[in-house]
Structure 1
Amino acid sequence: MIDDLYNESVWSPPEELPNLSDAPIMAIDVETRDPNLKTLGPGWVRNDGNLIGVAVAVDGWCAYLPFGHGDIGDSRGYGNMSKTLVLRWLKGQLAHGMPVVFHNAQYDLGWLLSEGVDVRNPILDTMVAAPLLDENRFSYALNSLGATYLGERKQEDDLRRAAAQHGVDAKAEMWKLPAARVALYAQTDARLTLELWHVLSKKIRADDCQSILDLELSLLPTVFEMRRRGVRVDLEKAERTKKGLLELENKLLTKVKKETGIWVEPWNARSLASVFDKLGLEYGRTAKSGAPSFTKQFLKTHEHPIARNILEIREYNKANTTFVDTILSHQHEGRIHCEFNQLRSDGGGTVTGRFSSSHPNLQQMPARHPEIKKLIRGLFLPEEGCRWGSFDYSAQEPRWLVHYACQSEGTKDDSVVQKIMRRYHEDDFDFHQMVADLAGVDRTLAKTLNLGIMYGMGIAKMATVLGDTSFQEAKALRDEYEEEVPFIRKFATMVMEQAQLRKEVRTFLGRKCRFPMRERPRERGSPVHYETMEAEWQQIMETPEANRAATYGTKWRLLDPDRLRVSFTYKALNKLIQASSADQTKQAMADCTKNGYLPMLTVHDELCFSIETDRQVGEIKELMEKCVEMRVPSKIDVGIGADWGAAK
């Protein structure tokens, strides 16, 4: 039946477009020709591609309005409407001012703007809302969320059949298909987005997460405008930098060849093994296959100079291929238009609330090699006639640790906590140095131990991070440290216990960090999601009691969800601190934008601005320091320079 309704001979675009002025909310989903989406990101900002249609949904009505199907310049017979008519109607409906919901608003807003539709309505986004209810799920795609919350998936079957019949890719080449074969898919996307918002918004209110949703939604126009404007880059300097890095890399490669007779491939383990074999040097092997292994930590701590040479070759090579080449390939008319993702993790894992970025990924910009860091960041420029301003939260995570510890019954009266509190209020205090002095270790070691305990790092991992340290030595160091500075471990344990009891921890601004995985006490095996456990228990309860032991084993009572232990609570303090830091940075972005200061970039705990006057520096600094009222004062380190590299 669906095939009959949505084929070329039966389906036709709507003859009349309704007045939606009474609709309390509208959903929009755009369809596009976006040829370089996967490699360079959405093309609207580069004038690379075009809008082919718009799907609109309100309660009780939805439609697909196509106008760009078929070959450019010859789209007759594809079921297109007048683009002028559709866009004029859409602008008229948006003028009524109702909120508009999207699934990935940045994408749709950009393509609408490319056709002159500047959406100024309140913006809602299901892709922003969903992670606030479940930050641990594997996918936030509309298809996945629809299945979970609505029991309905996208209508893709006819689209895929049509694509196969026409010999095109169903998504990337949708524009080559007649509109009739796309209509059901497109308008269902808009309808699902609307229905999904209704469900998610109710659940968010019920879960007491409205305040953090409001913060995230307030940032949507900011993040969109940051991408639209982009950041200037010095292309001539980038070419010179590329040449200079290549010369440095070749100089070291030549040095290694003179010593070993081998032109080494720095990322090829077998090539590196040949160099080490030639010099009679030992190296590790992978546990699984026994292949040669040359980790960064191994090369960094190895005594032979050749290891340091190889490490530097890798660093120069990565700076060139990963950073300079990426800047050159992604720039458009001298600007980088990065995508800033509010609630997407870097590696596909749990969403902490911190921004990630893509096309290019600015989070990966070099930070630990001073020379390379300055070179790469030096390619980024402020607006004409301005200076670059970097505003970086100083010791953001330790300050949040003390903020929470000084309010907790178990640690608020601790003498070290009280001393740190006083010092934070009195002067420019260095948390890691104070802990180093108390524990009798150097600052670098104290910082490693502080962050290690804060992040739930095990002793084995700590030994690896410290380098050239045995398990026993790392344990002795940590034990001695905890004896002198007990409040961090004590507070970490308290947060773990809270997570075990409540299955979540909650930040100062209301973001929830949940722990959905469960494990059976005293039993080995991988943790399982609580919903799976509850479904299994439901099956057990539906089985006659006399048959339960035979079906589920004699220990079936241990499967009772009330007897299960919450998994991964050792990460509780890390989640609390990371998410709190994310909240603070986002609140700072919102406050700065509200006061007329649009960030150019956000990277970790740093915001970057184009600075015109010294007065602006003071105003931005104050806005960022005062955006969240903490028990300890926040501090912003400010760097001003001709470019990003000079400002750091």
Structure 2
Amino acid sequence: MLDGIFWDGHGNGKKKRADFRPLAPIPKTGWVKPSGYPDLSSANIISIDIETRDPDLKTMGSSVRRDGYIAGVAVGTDDGFRSYYPIAHEVGGIMSPHNMPAKFVFKWLSRELGRKEQFKIGANLLYDLEYLEHAGVTWCGQIIDVQIAEPLIDENNFSYALDRIANKYLGESKEDEALHKWAAQSYGGKPTRTDQARNYWRCPPELVGPYAISDIDLPLRIWEHQKMIIKQQNLENVFDMESRLMPMLLKMKQKGVRVDPKMVKKLGQEWREERGILVRNLSKFVNIREEFNADDKGHLKLLWDKQDLPVVKTKKGQQSFAAAVIDASNDPFVNKVKRIRQLTKSIGTYVDGYFGKHVINGRIHCQFNQLRSDDGGTVSGRFSSSQPNLQNVTSRGEFSVLREAFLPEPGQRWWKLDYSSIEPRLCAHYGSGPSADALRALYKKNPKTDFYLIAADAANIERPPAKVVALADMYGRGLASMALALGITEKEAERIKDLMHKANPFIPALAKAASNRAKQRGYITMLSGRRRRFDRWSPKNWDIRKKYEDKNGYGSATRDSEEEILAEFGCSAQRVETHKALNSILQGGSADLIKKAMVESFEAGVYDEIGVPQLTVHDELDLSADPENPAHVEAIFEAKNHMETSYDLGVFPLVDVEMGPNWKQVEDYERN
């Protein structure tokens, strides 16, 4: 199966290319080349970690579909086995004599990782498993990823690197000092992981081996601590769900989403031409020879002076050209600046970025981040995406045309399954009192009930302001934000808010109850048992806090404990951001709904018929299927059913189904 792959013949020590930089002496580390391929069937848990040559990892994500490859594999077990199997290490341009035959190593890994009853543990395991599957290794069994467990235990941490987790639980870190020192001496750079991780593949296995073995040893020992906390905090269900979700996310990344780069290239040409005309017009208008730069303060000052526009000063007395200043102007020439900025951003982000760098064989393979990590993710548990961030492709306005470039599989149609107004439905589920009872009754009678219209009628106001006020309550936004969104004064916004609260009291009451719960016990829980913790503190005395933050910046008065606040500020403390507790419940609830539905659909074989989803964006799941194929349509509606029934709520979480030729041009679909 693997004949003809690049690694055939590795391990013979033959020179591949010249490298004239002198190499540092290789220190002795005690690492010994494996003597065979043992039977690991007696273990309960197998730990895996790979070392790769992955040149584009930091800039474009995993190079598994480009020119990346595995340099070695570390394997360990909970009953004591630890070993590193190098397969494609170079040292100074020469293949290491310690390399082992890749096809034998991969055949052995398929055997050892193929037992369903054995857990597979590691850190950032989806990265490792994607490379292993690409190399032909098969595996099965439940995943334990300590970097998935940790953000469930502490979603507010500033880093989830394995080193930091190990230091937290074990008081130690990876064994990497000798490796980094040798790599820096031999290839340049600082003796740090940041500088040298890209060089591991061309470091001696004698040095990489101990480092890689620590990468399989640490997760095994970290998990012993994490699993106790998970049990103590009743996080078993959410950890199980997140773990079972990982094989599906792997398949989604491997599949990618089909795109039309030619269409985007044409759009880019049109946008560049338009931008060029605007730039030349502005250059001529302000009388400069060079191209007008919409981000250059000198060029912008020339425009402001020419038009005699109002000047806004910074705190330091300099003329401000902040985005808010430019956005506030309606001058026709400033509007040209705004347009240039819009075009430049879209060209840079989408045309040159997403479609210029990330398309491989007509597909984009983005990373879906299920929890917080050093590469992205959210504290609420909602999905984010990266490399590239396809959730960032707007669905509204002129630039939503980019969604037309996202295509279903050949001969099929794009299907969009989207939760309908999930926030008010979850509020109705959690709410209490007559107005909540009335809303639940309306949803039961008609699942398509428009809460915002019902709320507006009850308050005798229009639907748009009613929605703004309701969402502000749900998201913990203040009066100023409300007024800005409505384009009115704060006094008028307060009047509308009072009308809404009087007619629909259960939402502000629910927000207050959630905030009080967060203040009292320091956390709130979601449908799955997921927690959102409020463990940062600030001075309770507003004048003290404001004075400090006016001088040092917003949020600078927050600390990790009440004791620190008392010692530093001499006053009592309060938990910060508890006004956002309801927002966390709603965002986390919607995340739980879609994640559990995805797991259930995947494990029930729904996607066996139509393939795993193309994308997941917020409360939406995007799939590809043939509307003329009854089995495909049945699968779509099975997926919809799982989305609507994954949790037993007090209201029905309606899912709208839309279909069309691409991501943008979808329309309501009614099943016959």
Correspondences of 1:124-273 after superposition (within 5 Å): 124-168=144-188, 169-253=195-279, 264-273=292-301
- 1:507/1:579 contact within 8 Å kept: yes
Contact 1:589/1:599 (CA < 8 Å) preserved in 2?
no
Aligned 8 A contact 2:279 2:292 in 1: yes
1:372 aligns with 2:399: yes
Structure 2 residue matching 1:32: 3-state secondary structure: strand
Distance in 1, Cα, partners of 2:453 & 2:301: 40
CA contact (8 A) 1:103 1:126 kept: yes
- Alignment partner, residue 392 of structure 1: 418
Instruction: Tell me the equivalent position of 2:505.
Output: 486
SS in structure 2 opposite 1:232? strand
User: Is contact 1:159–1:181 with CA below 8 Å preserved after alignment?
Assistant: yes
Residue by residue over 1:331-372, the C-alpha shift from the partner in whole angstroms, topping out at 9 and shown as x without a partner, is 111110111111027996862101111111012112331x21
CA distance in 2, matches of 1:273, 1:58: 65
Confirm whether residue 611 of structure 1 aligns to residue 625 of structure 2: yes
In the other structure, the counterpart of 1:91 is 110
Asked if 1:22 is matched to 2:42, the reply is yes
Alignment deviations for residues 92-112 of structure 1 (CA, whole Å, 9 cap, x no partner): 222343111120111000111
Q: Determine if contact 2:89/2:203 at 8 Å carries over to the other structure.
A: yes
Partner amino acid, structure 2, of 1:596:
V
> What corresponds to 2:524 in structure 1?
505
Which has the larger displacement, 264-273 or 494-503? 264-273
Equivalent position to 2:388, from 340, 351, 360 = 360
Correspondence 1:596 to 2:618: no
1:392 counterpart SS class:
strand
TM-superposition CA deviations, 1:5-61 (whole Å, max 9, x none): x835854312244321111101111101100111110111x1421101111111323
CA contact under 8 A between 2:89 and 2:99: conserved in structure 1?
A: yes
Amino acid at match of 2:645: K
Matches within 5 A, 1:568-583: 568-583=577-592
2:338 to 303, 311, 315: 311
Deviates more, 1:416-425 or 1:234-243: 416-425
Which residue identity does 2:224 align to in structure 1?
A: H
Q: Indicate which of 346, 349, 368 corresponds to 1:322.
A: 349
Letter matched to residue 585 of structure 1: I
Contact kept in structure 1, 2:429 and 2:651, CA below 8 Å: yes
Residue 606 of structure 2 aligns to a residue whose secondary structure is: coil
TM-superposed deviation, 1:170: 2.0
Shift of residue 307 of structure 1?
Answer: 4.3
State the match for 2:558 in structure 1.
527
Counterpart amino acid of 1:357? S
Contact 1:238 1:324 in 2 (8 A): yes
1:275 matches 2:322 = no
1:53 to 59, 72, 93: 72
Runs of 4+ in 1 over 6 A off after TM superposition: 552-555
Q: 1:381-432 CA deviation, whole Å, 9 max, x = no partner?
A: 1111110111111111121122111xxxxxx223x32332233223322222
Give the counterpart letter for 2:464 in structure 1: T
2:550 paired residue number? none
Q: Is residue 161–residue 374 contact of structure 2 (8 Å, CA) maintained in 1?
A: no
Whole-Å separation in 2 of the counterparts to 1:328 and 1:121: 37
Query: CA–CA distance in 1 between the matches of 2:503 and 2:239?
Result: 41
Corresponding position: 1:109 with 2:140: no
In the alignment, is the contact (CA less than 8 A) between 1:264 and 1:275 conserved in 2? no
1:308 deviates by 4.0
Q: Tell me: CA distance 1:253–1:174, structure 2 relative to 1, closer, same or farther (3 Å).
A: same
Structure 1 position 476, deviation (Å): 4.1
Distance change in 2, residues 1:299/1:473 (3 Å): farther
Shift, 1:246, TM fit:
2.2
Q: Is the 8 A contact 1:32 1:175 kept in 2?
A: yes
Measure the CA separation in 1 of the matches of 2:641 and 2:302: 56
Question: How many Å apart are 1:273 and its aligned residue?
Answer: 3.9
Q: In the alignment, what sits opposite 1:565?
A: 574
Q: How many matched pairs?
A: 609
- Distance in 2 (CA, whole Å) between partners of 1:294 and 1:554 is 34
Instruction: Measure the CA separation in 1 of the matches of 2:219 and 2:316.
Output: 45
1:382 matched to 2:382: no
For residues 145-201 of structure 1, what are the alpha-carbon distances to aligned partners after superposition, in whole Å with 9 as ceiling and x for unaligned?
A: 001112111112111111122124421011111111111111011100111122212
TM-score normalised by the chain length of structure 2: 0.84
Match of 1:630 in 2: 649
How far has the Cα of 1:260 moved from its partner? 5.7
Please say which of residues 82-91 and 34-43 is displaced more in the overlay. 82-91
Residue 68 of structure 1 aligns to a residue whose secondary structure is: coil
Taking the TM superposition and a 5 Å limit, the aligned residue runs for 1:468-479 are 469-479=488-498
Q: Using the alignment, how far apart are the partners of 1:487 and 1:306 within structure 2?
A: 48
* Selected match of 1:585 from 585, 588, 594: 594
- Identity rate, percent: 35
Deviation at 1:225, TM superposition (A): 0.2
**TM-aligned CA distance change 1:191 to 1:338, over 3 Å:** same
Aligned letter for 2:318? G
Q: Judging changes above 3 Å, is the alpha-carbon distance between structure 1 residues 119 and 362 closer, same or farther for their aligned structure 2 residues?
A: same
Using the alignment, how far apart are the partners of 1:451 and 1:347 within structure 2? 29
Q: Select between 329-338 and 343-352 the one with higher mean Cα deviation.
A: 343-352
Moved more, 351-360 or 241-250: 241-250
Q: Matches of 1:120 and 1:285 in 2, distance apart?
A: 62
239-248 vs 204-213, which moves further: 239-248
Q: What is the deviation of 1:481?
A: 3.6
Q: Calculate the TM-score normalised by the size of structure 1.
A: 0.87
Equivalents in 2 of 1:384, 1:181: separation in Å? 48
Distance 2:285 2:514 in 1: 54
Question: Per the alignment, do residues 350 and 218 of structure 1 end up closer, same or farther by CA in structure 2, a change over 3 Å counting?
Answer: closer
- What's the counterpart of residue 545 of structure 1? none
| Letter of the structure 2 residue corresponding to residue 214 of structure 1 | D
For 2:218 and 2:56, locate their aligned partners in 1 and report how far apart those are by CA, in whole Å: 27
Q: Flag the 1:306–1:615 CA change in 2: closer, same or farther, 3 A.
A: farther
Cα distance change, pair 489–292 in 1 and its aligned pair in 2 (3 A): same
Does the aligned pair in 1 maintain the 2:606–2:639 contact within 8 Å? Answer: no
Pick which of 423-432 and 170-179 moved more. 423-432
CA distance in 1, matches of 2:461, 2:300: 36
CA distance in 1, matches of 2:441, 2:327: 39
Matched residues in 1 for 2:285 and 2:466: separation? Answer: 39
Classify the secondary structure of the residue corresponding to 2:197.
coil
Deviates more, 1:483-492 or 1:269-278: 269-278
Q: Give the drift of 1:257.
A: 5.7
Q: Which moved more, 1:337-346 or 1:614-623?
A: 614-623
Q: For residues 640 and 256 of structure 1, do their structure 2 counterparts lie closer, same or farther at Cα, with a shift above 3 Å needed?
A: farther
Unaligned runs of 5+ in 1: 1-5, 406-411, 541-551
Distance 1:554 1:347, change over 3 A: closer
* Structure 2 spans left out of the alignment, 5+ residues: 1-25, 189-194, 546-556, 628-632, 668-672
Cα deviation, residue 470, structure 1: 4.1
Alpha-carbon separation, structure 2, partners of 1:589 and 1:448:
30
